[in-house]
Amino acid sequence: MARRGSLLAVGAVLALLALPGSALAETFEGQTVQGKPVVIETRPNGELRKGTWRWKTKECDEPGISLRTQFTRLRTPKRSKPGYFKAKGTYRVRFSDSKVRFEVSSTGRQRGSRRWAGSFKAKAFVDLNDGPRVTCKLRRIDWAAKL
């Protein structure tokens, strides 16, 4: 009886080792077209677990205002299935001279077993402590990441 249990345990371990690499959670790293880093982390089933982007924009409706190297993390995709996601979110950040509300979104598709690619966009509503509300936009930028 002990021998049968040992054989079952060995069989279970061998079955786990035989699973393809896509059955493991993976981290893909790359860049946006702005040259900023992007990291895509997937669950063992290939769905998005977390995506992180750095970005910048000078496209603001007030002269002299720009957003430099912002960092955005999306954890809860609106739609996700193995090999595809569509995520969006809103978050707020307080700076010494302003409060900012960000609206961000990204889509991504797996392009083979070792690569993801997609697009990212953002809008920021900046409430300056000593001035008006300024709106900044990051038009769609493409990104790519690989193992």
What are the tens digits of pLDDT across the range 40-65? Answer: 999 888 888 889 999 999 999 988 88
Cβ burial, residue 36 (10 Å; 0-12/13-18/19+): middle
Which among 128, 59, 121, 78 has a CA at the least distance from the CA of 98?
128
143 and 53 in contact (C-beta within 8 Å)?
yes
Q: Is the pLDDT of residue 20 over 50?
A: no
Q: Residue 31: is its pLDDT beyond 90?
A: yes
Strand pairing class (77-81; 67-74):
unpaired
Are the beta carbons of 35 and 60 closer than 8 angstroms? Answer: no
Over the stretch 90-142, which tens digit does the pLDDT of each residue have?
A: 999 998 988 999 999 999 999 998 999 999 999 999 998 988 899 999 999 99
Task: Determine the CATH number of domain 23-146.
Answer: 2.40.128
